[in-house]
Structure 1
Amino acid sequence: MVNGPASEAPLPGAVGLSHLSPYDWEAADGVCGGSPHLHLVCTEAYVVTGGHGAVQTLSPDGHRDVPLRPGTVAWFTPGTVHRMVQGDGLRITVLMQNSGLPEAGDAVFTFPPEVLADPGRYAAAATLPPGTGPETEAAARRRRDLAVEGYLPLRAALVAGDGGPYREFQRAAARLVRDRVPRWRELWRAGALAAAERTGAQLDALADGDLTHLGEAAAYRAEPSRLGGFGMCGRRDEYALPGVTVPYGGE
């Protein structure tokens, strides 16, 4: 058994992994939970391991409130605004596509339009101080509240049949991250694409009767590298796994 993160073996498919407990802070609408946001190129999945709650989503088919309970698996594709809602002791394992690329910036909060229009102002509002102390907690709560402030009008418009504000938010999000695309492409090539290409090479080898890669068989394990960090949706336990990107924005 080889202990991570010293190993060079990523998780299957080069996915990112973390454990999450949604915030129990009450927001302006009386709901306890995380910071609404979307991803531009990554699908994200929640595997519920304890408690109950919900995830609120905004997408072209409207607003949904998806109940979460142990055993539920919920996932959402790029462009879906999602807001984690705490019920009672909700605990989730989060699987992130593309080597955890969402933690390298593929996440844009639903801040009000005037914040989204100013990259400097957006970065200041989105970035947390390092650590897990009171200063970081206060900044995470301010960030959550600002995201909810922008989210509620998007949801109200979509419920009323007006998808314009939601689509404009998507456009603003794409403008904010455009300059990061070259770096994201590097991470994708080194992670998810490389994992798929390794499988292709192994299939070719098997077809030729070459079993060399089976001689490199090994098992691995890893423990959390940080407990209780302040993530986008809640308190987050994370892993320094091979091929997984570093935490985003001081989370």
Structure 2
Amino acid sequence: MFFSLLKHVLLGPLLRVVFRPKVTGTVPDGAAILASNHLSFCDSLFLPLMAPRKVVFIGKEEYFVGTGLKGRLIAAFFRGVGTIPVDRKGGTEAADALDTALRVLQEGRLFGIYPEGTRSPDGRLYRGKTGVARLALASGAPVVPCALIGTDQVQPMGHKLPKKIMRVEVRFGEPLRFPKDADPRAVTDEIVTAIQKLSGQEYVDVYAASVKKAAAAKNG
């Protein structure tokens, strides 16, 4: 009920009035994987609230255990938009995340994932991690490529609040299906290529996390 309240009464209408998002394409019924580029923290607002179906994500457990009013509001928001906490301790994060995602898909729901694994540091599209491919091959669910456009200008990295009011676009592409014996790296690259065609971003064949780590080391 909280998700419906956010989508249809509170945040959804507000986003539509202020940012006038343009949504093109759709997603199929039943189990499917929504694979999107990741430009801004506000992607976690626009994608679930503008998608035609409820999207389930996984998120850091830290988002759900904060204290005080701010912590409770953050936890309520992430639960409200369909985020499931995953314990990152003990080195089992990847396995736990895959198990959680598979369970969501087995229930016939829509699972959202950012193949890059982290936000783009500069607006370009980076090499995808193979988790999205392993999930697609294990579940047999189709992958729907998605492109968010303009969210990095609305809320650039490092900004806690929106910096610019402008129209945002959410583009859903045609579903992709893969045989179970396909190579995970090749599948991941095909998914990212489909995202790139939707978004028009420049592609960089390195991991975004590596770029961030190198920049932090240089500045630190």
Fold agreement, TM-score > 0.5? no
TM-score normalised by structure 2 residue count: 0.30
Task: Specify the structure having the higher radius of gyration (Cα).
Answer: 1
Q: Which structure is higher in helix share?
A: 2
Q: Which structure is higher in strand share?
A: 1
TM-score normalised by structure 1 residue count: 0.28
Task: Specify which structure has the bigger relative contact order, considering alpha-carbon pairs within 8 angstroms and separated by 6 or more residues.
Answer: 1
